[in-house]
A = this chain, B = another copy of it.
Amino acid sequence: MSESPQEKKIATRLFVEEPLSQGVKIGLDHARAHFLRSVLRLAQDAQLAVFNGRDGEWLARIEGLGKGWASLEVLELRRPQTPEPDLWLAFAPIKRGRIDFLAEKAAEIGCARLLPVITRFTDVARVNTDRLAANAREAAEQCERLTVPEVAEPMKLSNLADSWPAERRLILCAEFGPARPVAEALEEIGDTSGPLGVMTGPEGGFARSELDALVELPFVTPVSLGPRILRADTAALSALALCQALCGDWRARSDSRA
């Protein structure tokens, strides 16, 4: 008895850069070929899903693979591309381990863009954006997203504030100063709004002068995440989840999994 591709359980999903359409052949780089062959132990003719962030999710077949190479044949469309929430995360970089975790979680929660931002008390000298992007991509592959979050190059807080798009409301997680309870602020924004962003400070918090300047910006809504001192990663993940639940695509259950 044959199943439709939609019903088949496909355990493996890969993000690829190439355009996707029926019959297209895709060569994989050494790392991904090794992953399929030696980690997942897949063989020729095994099926997997591929997506590129533009053309939806496609069923593909391993046409051939060997040591360090693999080629795929794209078979048929599984899911068309659909719009995803336009939610950014601007965050002061934190220690390795925690920043990897943050990239993974932000991707799962549905963040579209990660923007490392250097604040006065940021205590991390260098941000490995390649590693962040790899973590985000892997999480996107596993969580069934049809896109992968972009990772921007780090920039100074003042530059970020100057270049922030005015129409993108910025939910600023403020540890002190005037701020509204986060749910109240997000309920008011609701799903009628345009693009959103979340901003969180470093482990040492924002400097008072930084917060004072940020709250003056017309696109900034300072919010409070309650009476306890949250770590930077906890604050970021909580605020992202709240944006999705109150203003994003957690407002409705996906039909495909109902």
Q: Which residues of A approach B to under 8 Å, CB–CB?
A: 101, 104-105, 108-110, 142-145, 175-176, 178-184, 187, 224-231, 234, 237-238, 241-242, 244-246, 248-254, 256-258
Contact = CB atoms under 8 A, between A and B. Distances in A.
Nearest 9 pairs between A and B by C-beta? Answer: A227-B254, A226-B250, A238-B241, A183-B245, A224-B253, A143-B228, A143-B229, A108-B234, A183-B246
Contact of A250 (B108, B182, B251): B182
Nearest to A255: B227
Nearest to A142: B229
Given A226-B244, A228-B110, A241-B241, A184 B251 contact: yes
Contact of A175 (B101, B145, B226, B257): B257
B238 A109 contact: yes
A43 to B, nearest CB: 24
A58 to B, nearest CB: 19
A145 B228 contact: yes
